[in-house]
Amino acid sequence: MKTRKLRDLTVSAVGMGCMGFTHGYGACPPESESIRLIRSAYEDYGCTFFDTAEVYSCGENEILVGKALKPIRDKIVLATKFMPEMFLTTPEIPEGKTSRKGVRMALEASLKRLQTDHIDLYYEHRVPENRDVAEVAEWAGELIREGKILAWGVSEATPEQIRRAHSVTPLTAVQSEYSIMERKYEREVIPLCHELNIGFVAFSPMAGGFLSGKYNSQTKFEGDDVRRVITRFDPKNMDANQALLDLLKKFAAEKNSTPAQISLAWMMCKNDFVVPIPGMRRDERLKENFGAADVELSIDELAELEAALAKITIHGDRKDSDIHKLGTIKSVAKS
Residue 279 carries which DSSP code?
B
Report the DSSP beta bridge partners of residue 200.
174, 274
Residue 159's closest CA among 177, 132, 122, 185? 185
Contacts of 223 by beta carbon, 8 Å cutoff, 6+ apart: 26, 27
User: At 6, which amino acid appears?
Assistant: L
DSSP string, 250-276: HHHHHTTS-HHHHHHHHHHHH-TTEEE
Q: How far apart are CA 64 and CA 173, in angstroms?
A: 24
Residue 10's closest CA among 282, 170, 199? 199
**Pair 45, 16: CB distance under 8 Å:** no
Helical axes 189-196 vs 159-168, angle rounded to 10°: 20
Instruction: Give the residue numbers marked as catalytic.
Output: 56
Residue 25 carries which DSSP code?
S
Q: Is 231 exposed, middle or buried (0-12, 13-18, 19+ CB in 10 A)?
A: middle
**Pair 76, 48: CB distance under 8 Å:** yes
Report the DSSP beta bridge partners of residue 51.
17, 79
User: CA distances (Å), 122 to each of 77, 83, 104, in order?
Assistant: 11, 11, 12
DSSP string, 202-227: EESTTGGGGGGT---TT----TT-GG
Residue 56 carries which DSSP code?
G
